[in-house]
Structure 1
Amino acid sequence: MNLRLIAGAAALAAALTSSFAQPRVMDVDTGKNGAPIQKTMYGIFFEDINYGADGGLYGEMLVNRSFEFKQSLTGWTTFGNVNVKDDGPFERCPHYVELAWPGHADRLTGMQNSGYGGISLKQGEDYRLTLWAKAAEGEGGIKVELIDQLTDSEPQAFVTQELKITSGEWKKYELIMRSPKNDTEASLRILLNGKAPVCLEHVSLFPVKTFKNRKNGMRADLAQALADMHPGVFRFPGGCIVEGADLQTRYQWKNTIGPVENRPVNENRWQYAMKSRISPDYYQSYGLGFFEYFQLSEDIGAEPLPVLNVGMACQFQNKDDSANVPMSELQPYIQDCLDLIEFANGDTTTTWGRKRAEMGHPAPFNLKYIAVGNEQWEEPYFKRLPPFVKAIREKYPDIKIIGTCGPAPEGEMFEHGWKAMREIGVDLVDEHYYKSEEWFRNSSMRYDSYSRKGPKVFAGEYACHGDGKKWNHYETSLYEAAFMTGLERNADVVLMATYAPLFARVDAWQWRPDLIWFDNARMFKSVSYYVQQMYACNKGTNVLKLTMNGKPVAGQQGQAGLYASAAADNGDGSVIVKVVNTGKTTQPVSVNLKGMKGERTAQTTTLTCTDMDAENTLEEPEKIVPKTGTLTCKAGKKCTVIEDEIAPMTFRVYRIKK
């Protein structure tokens, strides 16, 4: 027996079987627009978790710039004669430092700050140092240096500037410092220059080149990554930090506006919420506040969606209603909602509209949505939400109100939540699901059976968490793509969806997986980021009906692990087809574009990988990225036909001009 001949014949037979396998036929009705797909359909959700704000998106490069952490000198190394005082010029940030003569000519008084894992500087780039100072004796001076503590060179300082403090009254000073080299582990050092004492407050360092070059701006590369997603909605500022571990540490938007020097520091709920990964120095500076959130929404073209506290502390950390504000004391929380809408939309003659204008934005932000409460559940929430809804409806009837049905996507609590939201009459219900691979594979038809009446759905937080592999890897991202075909198919029910969390520092995270990872100098986009981007950039304006043998293509029996959806883009006259193959074999597909005739060219975007555990990293940020190409669509007997082979575990988007 010739074993080589038999083996060769078997291989040829397998190849022929693959070549002549019957394609999976899908039909798309391109002639009849279905439900409109909202501009808000695919968006982003930001929460200050994983050092996403301070140390991340927010451009500030120094830790504890106002000396307001519970340990006042956290983040600072001091030497010589340094004293902390608490009678400073800013009511809500009273602490400052006094640098005084150390008592000997060969001693030095000073302090230095290494930022978040080192200050990252780029050769030839400018950095703006601002500080408030006064000279205790009318005139004094400091020396400001950018240093490399670990350098082999003789001088540690590679930038040095002197600053004269010319007044005994508090005054703001500014220096522009240009870095002569690249350095990812630099520090800022400030030395007393002379014997006269000098007092310093709100010592701040920013790149001059922030996103949109704003002075109190965002880190450029991270903000640009958000803009490149083309998000339709931007939900902020949380998340559990909206609630706080208790009401004293809840997020209060009014503390986050006005001059940054007078915004009080707040303890971040994620400082110790994950007991296995505590972060003792995790505070919110509120430099990234509600004005900046609205401004960033505008800059990236997304509808702002603020989330406000409903009078409740985090229910995960507080098991009974005693931790929440009594019903009789709820009015200030309701007023916060009304005042926020005025801040966003009121004209400059209103109290809060005038404050917005004073911050540099006279025009309204055109807020359309507000969420009241985050991931709350059962009676404590159900009894507090109605007075918010009543007050907002009476004063601002056009604002869409979003309620929540709790932390789980099914079960008794979930059902109670939906029932209550219908009765209360919210416009959208915020659903959250951090679930397994199996759940995402099996849930693409989740919304096909939802009622078309009553509140719509906001998928406010979701991510596929791998079975025993809770990190960003290709397989989970692919299942998210498969699941999202169901969001798109049901655009008459689902009006917006945002993956979560958004950001994570590689050296200081509390939660994963996350969409975008970074350190102090670099960043990379996860595969899930590219899935979100492929959907947002190919959203379309209306759903088109797509079926296989009359059924939605949703990984159903006989569909070989395929998921698909279709949309029309009435803006450029395109038809968009999304196909996900979650199977382990190549699938030939034939998509009949009914209502189109003749040969066409399809623009394709493909995300594929053979290693299910693979992920992008700082070292390999583009290991798995979408690839673009073209495909000729054939002229069938009655319609244009896409004929293609979808490789195993692949997500492909086709865009064809109608």
Structure 2
Amino acid sequence: MKKSVYLFCSILLICGLSFQSSEAQQSFTVKANQLKAPISPTMWGVFFEDINMGADGGIYAELIKNRSFEFYKPLMGWAVEGKKSEGDILVLNRQGANTSNPRFLRVNVNEANNISIINEGFRGMGIKAGLRYDFSFMYRQAKPGVKLYLELLNEKNEVIGKGESIPSGSGSNWDKQSVSFNATATAQKAKFKIRFEGNGVVDLDMISLFPSDTWKGRPGGMRSDMVQLLADMKPGFIRFPGGCIVEGHDLATRYQWKKTIGPLENRELIVNRWNTEFAHRPTPDYYQTFGLGFFEYFQLADDIGAEPLPILNCGMACQFNTAELVPIDQLQPYVQDALDLIEFANGDVNSTWGRVRAEMGHPKPFNLKMLGVGNENWGPQYLERLKIFTKAIKDKYPNIKLVNSSGTDPDGDRFNLLNTELRKMNADIIDEHYYRKPEWFLQNVSRYDNYPRNGPKIFAGEYAAQSDKIVSVNNKNNLQTAISEAAFMTGLERNADVVIMASYAPLFAHVDAWQWTPDMIWVDNLQAYGTPNYFVQKLYSTNIGTHVVPLLNNNKTALIGDGGIFASSVVDKKTNELILKIVNTSDKEAESSFNVEGVNKLPSKANLTVLTSNNLGDVNSISKPSEVVPNETQIAIKGKTVKLKLAANSFSVLRVKML
């Protein structure tokens, strides 16, 4: 076959025959009274992983980088100024005396050296004019005599906020002191300076600076703008803490939830596994301080009304890195961690781990219903370990639903082995992942049409259309990737009796510190914005409905690519509304009519929300965060037929009352 002919045929297949003429109006039927599958409240959720500085330097609002001097290079992120002599600045290591946080800084202060230490923040510090900033630190000193001058400096080294602190008391015990001050100007990339005066020696640790406008005003909390974007989605669940950081580069750097709870100074920092993963984006200063730990994740889920879905290590490190394994006869501590986590989340205040939760400020259980065992693991070694976890958890907590990995890809030998064996095990939920080109998503809209209706349910746990290719720095969150995902999601929704959860991944990315693209929400130090992909996810999750109803083409089959159109329909029994989600992947406007059967009548008007733009390559950005956003209008309805002009390359959501 000639190359040109082959290319033409491929384009027709990829676009779902989208080059059919759109001049003739297409007519479809909605059977609004034929309730099919109920839709799980967890259908649309979010996946959080600490990648792209999503936690430290991102949603966790701490502004000081390397606040406890535990990075591989103890003074990374810090600069020292002044006429210091040898020994005036020392990093000491307590080793066995404090294994979680062994290092601290000793500063010898005298009138001659005029020492200052300056922290650069996470690619700078975002400072807002008029906002209060809360500084704190742990210290000890042999005798009083040192004064700290605190200064926020903008990009020109101008002071835009200042305070003072005089450590009090003396002795060998560590104390904590706090002071607050207001910023006088806004800066995108500020830094923080501590200038020492007086005479004496002071030891410092856990040097911290937080903005006061954290989510819910919690001291030491999260960035409110980033959490608000999540809350606005009304997600059914939040999966945490990942992702590949669950596995770690090796088992020593795996995520261990027990080390992420309790007092901050007792949480043991580790390197982030994305620190040096990609040669194209090395990030040697990327660590996990666990200020955002498992308690905070559960609290976040509680705040935004989402079911928590923690994922735990199953005794396997990342198989793309070391593939390190815990021997089966040494797996019990990993299994016990899972059992203890359930008690931490759900146990009463008299239980061992329920008491820990209560002491952290949440006596009421978090009502955990789901737990993931392993992340993207594969092979017989995973199945062997999974069976041990499953038996132990189900024996003690039979009502906990377990999420199991189907590997890294939606097909191939790894997937086939796991899919087969997990179904033999009668797994609760199978987690499928797909990072593919937009064309794959259009071709696979019907992926779940022929899945078994009984047996394990599906969690579409990680997916994102790749505008270029996987792990490419050129991937974009553009309109094309967004509407291809929207089309694929019509298939997920139509098969809600099989698919009970879905989440885009990754969630967050810092514009100056990313390792992976594309990502759903992008931030800098002062702003956060949603991509077109974010708005697709939000439109689905805020228009979830309670039951699937049939939406058929002229051949009485599901609407999958007719003239480039993909669609699904649900009803919300709580509000008595019909909700249509319609994707036009054609580059031409399409006139379509939807005849609604099974209702007495429809109102004369309905709400229509449309996500589109002038070009498939259009994206949002820090400078233009609203380039591609949904627009809401009202449309007129005559009788029981809804007539729509579907914009080219668009995703539309129609909500109409059923009278």
TM-score range relative to shorter protein: over 0.9
Out of 512, 515, 521, the residue aligned to residue 516 of structure 1 is 521
Distance 1:91 1:136 in 2: 23
Kept after mapping to 1: 8 A contact 2:149/2:162: no
Query: 1:319-398, aligned counterparts within 5 Å?
Result: 323-398=324-399
Q: CA deviation at 1:158?
A: 3.9
What's the counterpart of residue 580 of structure 1? 583
The letter of the residue matching 1:65 is: R
1:170-214 Cα deviation digits (max 9, x unpaired): 111111111111122222111222011111110011111100111
Distance 1:177 1:423 in 2: 61
What's the counterpart of residue 216 of structure 1? 220
What's the counterpart of residue 274 of structure 2? 270
Query: 1:156-167, aligned counterparts within 5 Å?
Result: 156=159, 158-167=161-170
The letter of the residue matching 1:360 is: G
Distance 2:127 2:272 in 1: 27
1:376-398 Cα deviation digits (max 9, x unpaired): 11111011100100011010011
Kept after mapping to 2: 8 A contact 1:478/1:650: yes
1:98-128 Cα deviation digits (max 9, x unpaired): 11125xx353112111211211111111111
Distance 2:354 2:366 in 1: 10
What's the counterpart of residue 46 of structure 1? 48
Kept after mapping to 2: 8 A contact 1:42/1:233: yes
Query: 1:451-466, aligned counterparts within 5 Å?
Result: 451-466=452-467
Q: Identify which range, 463-472 or 305-314, moves more after superposition.
A: 463-472
1:283 aligns with 2:291: no
1:577-601 Cα deviation digits (max 9, x unpaired): 1110001211111101101244522
1:143 aligns with 2:149: yes
Higher RCO (Cα < 8 Å, 6 or more apart)? 2
Q: CA deviation at 1:83?
A: 1.0
Kept after mapping to 2: 8 A contact 1:142/1:165: no
Out of 157, 171, 182, the residue aligned to residue 175 of structure 2 is 171
Classify the secondary structure of the residue corresponding to 1:458.
strand
1:604 aligns with 2:612: no
Q: 1:184 to 1:592 in 2, by over 3 A?
A: same
What's the counterpart of residue 5 of structure 1? none
Distance 1:647 1:371 in 2: 40
Kept after mapping to 1: 8 A contact 2:42/2:500: yes
What's the counterpart of residue 103 of structure 2? 95
What's the counterpart of residue 630 of structure 2? 626
Classify the secondary structure of the residue corresponding to 2:191.
strand
Distance 1:327 1:599 in 2: 62
TM-score w.r.t. length of structure 2: 0.93
1:594 aligns with 2:584: no
Q: Identify which range, 534-543 or 163-172, moves more after superposition.
A: 163-172
Distance 2:191 2:407 in 1: 44
Out of 26, 29, 33, the residue aligned to residue 27 of structure 1 is 29
Q: 1:448 to 1:19 in 2, by over 3 A?
A: closer
Classify the secondary structure of the residue corresponding to 1:180.
coil
Distance 2:641 2:567 in 1: 15
1:466-511 Cα deviation digits (max 9, x unpaired): 1465221111111000110000000000000000000001111110
Kept after mapping to 1: 8 A contact 2:135/2:208: yes
Distance 2:63 2:534 in 1: 25
The letter of the residue matching 1:442 is: Q
Distance 1:271 1:508 in 2: 11
The letter of the residue matching 1:132 is: M
1:561 aligns with 2:564: yes
Distance 1:21 1:474 in 2: 24
Classify the secondary structure of the residue corresponding to 1:479.
helix
The letter of the residue matching 1:603 is: N
The letter of the residue matching 2:443 is: N
Distance 1:247 1:45 in 2: 22
Classify the secondary structure of the residue corresponding to 1:56.
coil
Distance 1:60 1:522 in 2: 15
Distance 1:527 1:149 in 2: 32
1:33-82 Cα deviation digits (max 9, x unpaired): 11111111000000000000000011111100111111111111123321
Out of 58, 61, 74, the residue aligned to residue 59 of structure 1 is 61
Classify the secondary structure of the residue corresponding to 1:470.
coil
Query: 1:404-419, aligned counterparts within 5 Å?
Result: 404-419=405-420
1:116 aligns with 2:117: no
What's the counterpart of residue 89 of structure 2? 82
1:525 aligns with 2:527: no
TM-score w.r.t. length of structure 1: 0.93
Classify the secondary structure of the residue corresponding to 1:421.
helix
Kept after mapping to 1: 8 A contact 2:155/2:187: no
Kept after mapping to 2: 8 A contact 1:141/1:198: no
What's the counterpart of residue 471 of structure 1? 476
Distance 1:428 1:158 in 2: 52
Classify the secondary structure of the residue corresponding to 2:278.
coil
What's the counterpart of residue 488 of structure 1? 493
The letter of the residue matching 2:497 is: D
Query: 1:217-256, aligned counterparts within 5 Å?
Result: 217-256=221-260
Distance 1:290 1:273 in 2: 24
1:107 aligns with 2:113: yes
Q: Which runs of 5+ in 2 are unaligned?
A: 1-19
Classify the secondary structure of the residue corresponding to 1:144.
strand
1:609-646 Cα deviation digits (max 9, x unpaired): 121111000000011100001111211xxxx1101111
Distance 2:638 2:257 in 1: 56
Kept after mapping to 1: 8 A contact 2:147/2:164: no
Distance 1:136 1:624 in 2: 60
Classify the secondary structure of the residue corresponding to 2:277.
coil
Distance 1:20 1:254 in 2: 58
Q: Identify which range, 268-277 or 574-583, moves more after superposition.
A: 268-277
Q: CA deviation at 1:139?
A: 5.0
Distance 2:32 2:262 in 1: 51
Q: CA deviation at 1:20?
A: 10
RMSD of the alignment, in Å?
A: 1.6
Distance 1:589 1:78 in 2: 67
Kept after mapping to 1: 8 A contact 2:123/2:513: no
The letter of the residue matching 1:250 is: R
Distance 2:139 2:22 in 1: 79
Query: 1:185-204, aligned counterparts within 5 Å?
Result: 185-204=189-208
What's the counterpart of residue 4 of structure 1? none
Distance 1:371 1:144 in 2: 45
Out of 306, 311, 318, the residue aligned to residue 314 of structure 1 is 318
Q: Identify which range, 323-332 or 142-151, moves more after superposition.
A: 142-151
